[in-house]
Structure 1
């Protein structure tokens, strides 16, 4: 991924993320020594850095990272507030940015408004284009902006209106390895957070019994390249997508297998990471279609005595079955995935 050149002086950055991943993203920023966290907000972490800004693109739990350019009080829901929003363009501090070669703006806001997001985007985008004497690309018609255009982000949370400038040429969640996708494929930053929660050590064997397009295993392999990774799935399309996506990454073994009857020895797995098919976006297949609880019995069977399993569940009541199979939840964290409230749960054998 190309990174837009920024100066090495201190820069205020904003990392955006899935709702619920703010703590994981904060921990990752601190782990890498990227800077000092100054504010936690709705789906975002603000931090200041003296390091090269390009270092922030290594954040795998972030959807995107931006330079904080301007902030003002939220002008409110009235359409007259659009002219006030345009003032952000004059306030934008771009001292840390490379030359502005084009403008495209993506906006989001909380609460009801008497204007839509395209109205807000156009108000700010046209003002930015006028200031820097460049072209503005509106998102109203859904066409992609030219590659040379700088990506700006506008957020209104009811308290502040914030204008930010993307530090890379595309959002960080668009992983280069994601050559093929399938229905229900996991959002990469969520997969990265699950891999972090699994606390994988070099030399360990890591399993995804319902691997889908391989996102969880690939994110874990990026985080801990010294471990061994195994994935199983019953669907041919999933196996093909996983093998294609993982082809440039070593130590990932993808095979056909049923999560309800895994071809693995007892206590042979150190870590399990999984987004099982609970019937929301993807229906279970194989033995899980008839006996969903077999997932928990198989995880308990193959997991080593000191192993850890990290699973994404849509309903915490599903943990009742985990309890019955001697798996104890030790961490529960709500995240919002594809507009649905889900939970990351870490389990350990009793």
Structure 2
């Protein structure tokens, strides 16, 4: 593997700018391309294990090969095997093992494929074509997802994407995707995608001594991501009216060893905190899409926005995830001014990342 190793980090659609910013802030390399759910970068230090610590990435790969997208017809699928022939598979595996501090050669491989647009073939056709070609080069078994489901955990994971213009073949560095956080053992309905939670905390610009609040904390994902990335903050406080959610948050907090997070049962519409004492609010509030609002938040949604305004310091910031921009009218009436609006997609569903700062209520 050359010293100018090329990596590809994948993200949720719409979070590519946050991912690129994190790569640059961590001084991991130079951005060479930003595409659909992907950020390509050339490493400054090819064996820097920081690439596996990207919080806003769903996954991170070593770039293996790129070629022309084969089009929409199944007859073009065999042409993808050219990617395997262009790949220095053994060197890529060696580089992956060095990054992981591992010397064991993977006993087999699997391929996961995705493509944009309608095609006359399916993902398994693509996976089998490339997987069998790679397996022949590496002289190891290929595990077809079409017939055998999930692969053994010690198999090398390859990824192939077709974006309508280019075909990209990559090798995953870590044994499992980065978005599967080890701490997240307990979940609840509507639980937040960890890389998205990490992106929200980055947008909030949490600083030294800040009091950070999630008034609808659920399984604690936002607070844990914030606490892990910003240990310099003063305190982290999470509230939820659902006991099941608080139990999940407590379990995840223990797994993350995030002991500085204070969790408590309370109504998000009336929190037991003094006026103007919160520097940052980061939250995925329940608006009925996956989780129903309860108590005061359900009875008087507009009052919740006034509660956020009451809690924030004059220089405070709130970063929220909303299904539509519609709730911004009561937010404006409560004196919260939007300073950043960003559309993202989760599992194909659009949602909005909103940053607000306090002004004067109308």
TM-score, scaled to structure 1: 0.96
Long gaps (5+) in structure 1: 1-6
Is structure 2 residue 126 aligned with structure 1 residue 116? no
1-structure distance, mates of 2:289, 2:32: 37
2-structure distance, mates of 1:60, 1:174: 11
Q: Which runs of structure 2 are paired with 1:1-350 in the superposition (5 Å)?
A: 9-51=3-45, 52-94=47-89, 95-98=91-94, 99-141=105-147, 143-227=149-233, 228-247=235-254, 248-350=257-359
Measured after TM superposition, the shift of residue 8 of structure 1 is 7.9
2:30–2:44: 8 Å Cα contact kept in structure 1?
Answer: no
337-346 or 134-143, which deviates more: 134-143
Measured after TM superposition, the shift of residue 93 of structure 1 is 2.9
1-structure distance, mates of 2:15, 2:115: 19
After superposition, give the CA deviation of every residue in 1:46-94 in whole Å (9 maximum; x if it has no partner): 0000312422011100000001101110111111111101221111133
Measured after TM superposition, the shift of residue 100 of structure 1 is 5.0
Describe the SS at the equivalent of 1:97.
helix
2-structure distance, mates of 1:338, 1:178: 19
After superposition, give the CA deviation of every residue in 1:158-199 in whole Å (9 maximum; x if it has no partner): 101110000111100000100101111000000000000010
Q: Sort the Cα spacing of 1:32 and 1:328 in 2 relative to 1 into closer, same or farther, 3 A.
A: same
1-structure distance, mates of 2:345, 2:148: 25
1-structure distance, mates of 2:229, 2:351: 23
After superposition, give the CA deviation of every residue in 1:13-46 in whole Å (9 maximum; x if it has no partner): 0000000000000000000000000001000000
Measured after TM superposition, the shift of residue 10 of structure 1 is 2.0
Describe the SS at the equivalent of 2:176.
coil
2:64–2:92: 8 Å Cα contact kept in structure 1?
Answer: no
Q: Sort the Cα spacing of 1:243 and 1:295 in 2 relative to 1 into closer, same or farther, 3 A.
A: same
2-structure distance, mates of 1:231, 1:149: 39
Instruction: Give the total of aligned pairs.
Output: 344
Long gaps (5+) in structure 2: 95-104
More helix by share: 2
Describe the SS at the equivalent of 1:277.
coil
Describe the SS at the equivalent of 1:293.
helix
Aligned CA-pair RMSD? 1.2
1:103–1:134: 8 Å Cα contact kept in structure 2?
Answer: yes
2-structure distance, mates of 1:245, 1:214: 7
TM-score, scaled to structure 2: 0.93
Describe the SS at the equivalent of 1:295.
helix
